[in-house]
Structure formats: structure tokens, C-alpha cells
Structure 1
Amino acid sequence: MLEEQRNQRSPADPAGDVAPVRVVVRKMRPEDVPGALRVLAQWNMAPLAPSEEVPEPLRTSIDIGNAFVAEAGDRIVGTCSYFLIGDGWAETASLAVDPEPRFAGVGVLLQQARLDEMRVRGVRRVLTKADRPATIRWYVRRFGYRIVGAGLKKHAFGLLDVDHYTVLELDLTN
């Protein structure tokens, strides 16, 4: 099972005067779901059940078999997942990290864990949808994604003042 450990220091305290936080990135377990949902809800990215207001939500559940969590002590501080969409294709789903500054850098660990697993599973191309400009730049600069289009949101998911997603693609064969 993939497991990574990193000591994270607050970017506000680069001298390291605060005690390091041990963060472990690992596959999600059923008991992690409430903590993952809590983190996702902080960013308005939690899955929704279909309803009259939202008959076709973007996400209705978390596929635990394709999901990861970042854990600090006994607390879930980040999560991400993906789903397979075709031969050699996958789409990422809802990467979210607790906004507390001491968890800066945890998103990179989560993203790397899911990309590593996708490679092992034979995924060659990854689609990602994002609505936050800083996040879009992060995917492009840090991981080599390219912008391939845009799509309208089906409901108020993510940023409430943005009505579309930027669609990004990553070639995992390089």
C-alpha cells in the first residue's frame, strides 16, 4: 500500500520554530469518509445526493478504492480521488486540503500519490476540471498539464462566482 510521510512546516515560519507536523498520505479507508467529507465541504466540493434542486450532481459519492487521504495524527487534513473513464483514461476528483497554513504542500503529496497509482493501473491520460485560477496554474506549472477547454458547471460546486470549469489534460506516458 502506498504510504508517504513528510514533515510539514508552516510557510509563515520558515525557520521552523513550530514543531513539525507528520503527515501520512495513504489509501482511503471507510472510516476516513467523514473526515474527507469535512475537508471537501470547506471548499464546497463535497459529493451531493441527487435532489430536485440538483438532479445531476457532479459527484454523488467517493469511490474509496480510488481515493487517498492525508492524515495528521488522528485527523484527515486532505483528500483526493480519481475514476477511470475509458481505456487508458482517468479523471481526477476533488483534491482538497485543510486550509490551515501548516498543511501547505499536502496537495502535492496527494496529487503525486494518485498520479503514481494511475500510472501503475495503466492510465495514459488524465483529465482534471478546476475553477480556481491559482489551482489551474498549479496543475500546469507543477505537473505539466495543458489546458484543453472549458465546461459549464451543472450546479454550485467549488467557487460560487464561477460558472465553468477549465478542463486540463495530462499525458502520463512522458
Structure 2
Amino acid sequence: MKYFIEKASQHDYADILDIMQYWNMHHIPSVEMEELDLSCFFVARISNIIGGAGGYKVLSQKTGKTTLLGIRPEFLGMGIGKSLQEAMLVAMFNAGVKHVITNTDRTETILWYKKHYGYYEIGQLKKQCDFSLSDVDSWTTLEMNLEEFIQKKLQR
């Protein structure tokens, strides 16, 4: 199946929350996740279906954060997560961001971020409510050097 990545629109909001519900990341707004800024979201479209979505936030002149990244289970393994992540990283880089942080509670996701993007652990953050894995009470905070990643990507 082919997919393409595009900026999200207001019409995609319900579909994005539907995707995040598979991963218990749909409690929005909440103390864990404020209202979504769809101008900072990308979706993966497969025909007329949104197969995945990812969002980011620019925190300061040099720091950005990925906020949500989720794929419909039936579309896992197609590379959608990587395509969405890279779209978010390029958008943040174009906005002047140098470093990106993210919080996750899934071991396989931590390993994925480290392997593909050079993230490293910088701390733990206690969860404020049930979000993502219900049996994990803290987030692992990861950081990456976005400039380094983009330079390596351009050299390929």
C-alpha cells in the first residue's frame, strides 16, 4: 500500500484522535496533552484513510518537541512512523530548531528513537494522568541533536 505525508487540516482532528485512541493517547485536552495545534501536525494518507499522525511543538528559538506520534495498527510496519517523524523534524529544522525532545513510556519506542534518530535519555518525568501505557507511571525524556541528524541525512 502506498501512502503520502501531508500537513493536517481541521477536518483531520477526529481521525487523529481515533488513531491516538489505539495507544491510549486520546485524552486531549488533559494535563498530559494540551489541545492539538493542527498547524504543527502531519498525517499519513492511504487512499481516503488517515493511517497515522504526528505532531510537534516549537518550545523556544532552539528547542522543539514531538508531541504525539501514532499509527493505526493495521498499517504498522510500512514506514509511516519514520516518514511522519522525518516530516516533523524537517519542519522543526526549517523553523530554526536545533534540539528536539520527546517523552515516551514504551521500551520499543525508546529503542526506535535511539536507533533511527540518535536520541539519548536525559531524564524521567512523572505522569500526571493515565496516558499511553497505564502500567507505567513515568515518561522517559529523550533528546536529539537535530542539526547533526539533518547534516547526516543530507550526506546520504
Alignment of 1:81 with 2:55, yes or no, is: yes
CA distance in 2, matches of 1:104, 1:61: 28
Correspondence for 1:54: none
Deviations 1:58-111 (A, max 9, x none): 113210111100111111110010111112111111100011156531100000
| Structure 1 residues 120 and 65: CA distance shift in structure 2, 3 A | same
CA distance in 2, matches of 1:80, 1:49: 16
- Asked if structure 2 preserves the Cα contact closer than 8 Å seen for 1:47 and 1:62, the reply is no
Q: State the match for 1:104 in structure 2.
A: 78
Give 2:111's match in structure 1, choosing from 137, 154, 159: 137
Rounded to whole Å, the distance in 1 between the matches of 2:93 and 2:34 is 25
Could you tell me which runs of 5 or more consecutive residues in structure 1 were left unpaired when the two chains were aligned.
Answer: 1-20, 51-56
C-alpha distance in 1, partners of 2:143/2:65?
9
1:40 to 2:17 alignment: no
Tell me which residue corresponds to 2:100: 126
Task: Report Cα offsets for 1:7-48 as digits up to 9, x if no partner.
Answer: xxxxxxxxxxxxxx1211110011111111100111011142
Return the TM-score normalized by structure 2.
0.90
- Contact 2:54–2:67, Cα closer than 8 Å, also in 1: yes
Which structure has the greater CA radius of gyration? 1
Query: What amino acid is the match of 2:62?
Result: G
Q: Give the counterpart letter for 1:39 in structure 2.
A: I
Contact 2:28/2:36, CA 8 A, preserved across alignment: no
Report the Cα distance in structure 1 between the residues aligned to 2:67 and 2:106, rounded to whole angstroms: 14
Distance 2:111 2:11 in 1: 33
What RMSD in Å do the two structures reach over aligned CA positions? 1.2
- Unaligned 5+ segments in structure 2 are 149-156
| Aligned-pair CA distance for 1:49 | 3.5
Distance 2:98 2:65 in 1: 11
Structure 1 ranges of 4+ moved more than 3 A: none
Which structure: greater helix fraction?
Answer: 2
